[in-house]
Structure 1
Amino acid sequence: MRVYDCAIIGGGPAGLNAALLLGRTNRLVALFDTNNDHLAFELQESISRNGNAAIEFMQAAKEKLNQYPTIHSIVNQNVRVIKQSDNKLFKIYAEDGENFLAEKILLTDGAKIQTDIPNIELFYNKSIFTSPYSFGWELKGKKLIYINETSDVALNAKIIYNLSNDLIVATNGNEIKEKEKRELENKGINVITDKIQEVKGHNGELSSIVFQNGLEVEREAGFITPSAYTTNVIGQGFSCDFDEHGLIVVDHFGRTSEKNVYAAGDAAQPAPTEIVLSEATGIQVAKTINSDISSEKFKK
């Protein structure tokens, strides 16, 4: 069975860029596009792709990767990874029954927001976003809500206030420092600490937020900073360390606590993560992987 230098789990921006770099340095790469919550919006934060549809970017990137015989792309396949008994190789089991062997694993299959707000996932990347830098311009002047479930509310609220002064901050039942609350309210920002009962809208377009105290506020769009994330299933199958937010712990070079397992993109860094930053981490960690492989093989 063919042994790949690296198997990349996740075909998003981090995984695609990592595959390109490794493939172009003559490493054999298996790229598994697990198709988990891919980008269904326009790219805005990159000057080179401002306004381009994300799906078009992804398709064009995959076509470019197909030009390299060193890169084997496996599309729309969920996988299971098991470390072999010799502790040197990983075996990847794809949905279609095909098996692969790899020396290194790079996890780039992302992370998902973990919150108890009912139905909010129906609005992600349509009218509720994680980053004001990616979609702030498009929401300028709208009736906005900023949901923050952490203890650090004020900074992002100030950033979003610059986009629209018709802003409501909701903590979904979490406490907010009294000083921060007063500071926001002095600017006319309504701070609501009750838990959110329902998110209303149609086809992903937000119309209102209902709180458990019965209050319903009309909103057109918003942003969320959750208290926790969960990595996709493949990331949970490893013995890597996770931080208090549910993200994979990595060193400055993308190495996890499990030998020969690396992570990049949303799975290993706190959101909001702009696409260009995900691309950059994919490149950075791919360089680390290539350096590690080079050092190891040079000794043989």
Structure 2
Amino acid sequence: MEKFDCVVVGAGPAGLSAALTLGRARRKVAVLDNGRNRNRVTQESHGFLTRDNIKPQEFKDIAIKDLEPYPSVSISNETVQEITKDTETNLFLVTSDNKTYLTEKILLATGVQEEFSLAQIRQYYGKSLYSCPYCDGWELRDQPLAIVAENEDHLLHMTKLVFNWSKDLIVFTNGHQISDNTRNTFEGKKIQVYTDMIKSLHGENGNLESIELESGEAIPRNGGFVIPSFYRPNKFAEQLNCEADENGGIITDGFGRTTVNGVYIAGETEKVGPSSLMIAAADGFKAATGINMDLTLERF
């Protein structure tokens, strides 16, 4: 069986950045990816220096092309099914839907996925409803926007943040009550609050036009921001016995090293939360330097 220095699971900005760094360090690397990256639903990615407004797939294509000069790096479209460690050899077996890989090191960079309390949000997510004002606030500036969230702390934080881009805000809690202090804070900024249950979202081709409440009232809105919950799309970190903190984040040393020897993690996968392309790519670079240094010290 062909043996690799590192198998990178996930070809988002973290995984591809790590693969590039490891390739330049002359490490033999296999990148496995199933194309389920979280940002595939959006039309443009923002905030990555030199690549602002780029389409997510174009960003990924450019990153993959950057790997072509490095013959020790391969990338394939596969879904990893299982990762196990042989305690006698300290090597990992990575089983995908196509083949099995033998490797010294594992980098988990599969990112996270969103869950919404309102399933209909999916129809608008990435087109007129977003979760990151830094990523998409500029495009929605000065428009009539909705803030949809059920947790009061999250709601307050997001509303304060989005207020920088648009003052025309209406808050929707989808049936959840908020404190008088929070309500007074919003009213002081002329931000209306609806605590009614949301019946339906209306619009065409992913472009929001109004939010209909259970009462039948429809409030016109051109777009807005939602606060989803996030989860890892797999249990690899848990199955490999990587230690987690009280919030579910995988504990690392700052260079991707987990509490399990040979297992590294980078990007959104680590903290189970959203990240920018720029930060995820930086995390991938740091993890790659950790991997390369460990391989260097083990072999020298």
Give the TM-score normalised by the residue count of structure 1: 0.88
Name which of 186, 190, 193 aligns with 2:192: 190
State the number of aligned residues: 295
CA separation of 1:184 and 1:10: change in aligned 2, threshold 3 A: same
Name which of 60, 63, 68 aligns with 2:62: 60
Deviation, structure 1 residue 203: 2.5
1:11 paired with 2:11, answer yes
Q: Which residue of 2 aligns with 1:293?
A: 295
Please say if residues 147 and 172 of structure 1, whose CA atoms lie closer than 8 Å, have aligned partners that are also in contact: yes
CA separation of 1:117 and 1:205: change in aligned 2, threshold 3 A: same
Q: CA separation in 2, counterparts of 1:192 and 1:232?
A: 33
SS in 2 for 1:153: helix
Identity across the alignment (%): 35
Q: Which residue of 1 aligns with 2:115?
A: 114
1:100 paired with 2:82, answer no
CA separation of 1:12 and 1:28: change in aligned 2, threshold 3 A: same
Question: For residue 93 of structure 1, what is the amino acid of its counterpart?
Answer: T
Deviation, structure 1 residue 43: 2.6
CA separation of 1:58 and 1:223: change in aligned 2, threshold 3 A: same
Please say if residues 91 and 102 of structure 1, whose CA atoms lie closer than 8 Å, have aligned partners that are also in contact: yes
SS in 2 for 1:23: helix
Unaligned runs of 5+ in 2: none
Please say if residues 142 and 168 of structure 2, whose CA atoms lie closer than 8 Å, have aligned partners that are also in contact: yes
Q: CA separation in 2, counterparts of 1:62 and 1:190?
A: 46
Q: CA separation in 1, counterparts of 2:174 and 2:263?
A: 36
- Report the more deviating stretch, 191-200 or 87-96: 191-200
Q: Which residue of 2 aligns with 1:135?
A: 136
Question: For residue 291 of structure 2, what is the amino acid of its counterpart?
Answer: I
Please say if residues 106 and 261 of structure 1, whose CA atoms lie closer than 8 Å, have aligned partners that are also in contact: yes
Q: CA separation in 1, counterparts of 2:288 and 2:150?
A: 33
Please say if residues 231 and 247 of structure 1, whose CA atoms lie closer than 8 Å, have aligned partners that are also in contact: no
SS in 2 for 1:119: helix
CA separation of 1:254 and 1:85: change in aligned 2, threshold 3 A: closer
CA separation of 1:9 and 1:196: change in aligned 2, threshold 3 A: farther
1:206-231: CA deviations, max 9, x gaps? 222234454432222111223x3111
Q: Which residue of 1 aligns with 2:79?
A: 78
CA separation of 1:213 and 1:290: change in aligned 2, threshold 3 A: farther
Trace 1:252-291 onto structure 2 (pairs within 5 A). Answer: 252-269=254-271, 271-291=273-293
CA separation of 1:176 and 1:297: change in aligned 2, threshold 3 A: farther
RMSD of Structure 2 on Structure 1 (CA): 2.4
Name which of 164, 169, 172 aligns with 1:162: 164
Please say if residues 3 and 100 of structure 1, whose CA atoms lie closer than 8 Å, have aligned partners that are also in contact: yes
1:183-205: CA deviations, max 9, x gaps? 11211111233443433333222
Trace 1:225-264 onto structure 2 (pairs within 5 A). Answer: 225-226=227-228, 228-233=229-234, 235=236, 238=239, 239-242=241-244, 247-264=249-266
Question: For residue 25 of structure 1, what is the amino acid of its counterpart?
Answer: A
Q: CA separation in 2, counterparts of 1:287 and 1:28?
A: 14
CA separation of 1:251 and 1:55: change in aligned 2, threshold 3 A: same
Unaligned runs of 5+ in 1: none
Q: CA separation in 2, counterparts of 1:175 and 1:295?
A: 56
SS in 2 for 1:200: strand
- Report the more deviating stretch, 214-223 or 238-247: 238-247
Q: CA separation in 2, counterparts of 1:271 and 1:83?
A: 25
Please say if residues 120 and 201 of structure 2, whose CA atoms lie closer than 8 Å, have aligned partners that are also in contact: yes
| Runs of 4+ deviating beyond 6 Å | none
Q: Which residue of 2 aligns with 1:29?
A: 29
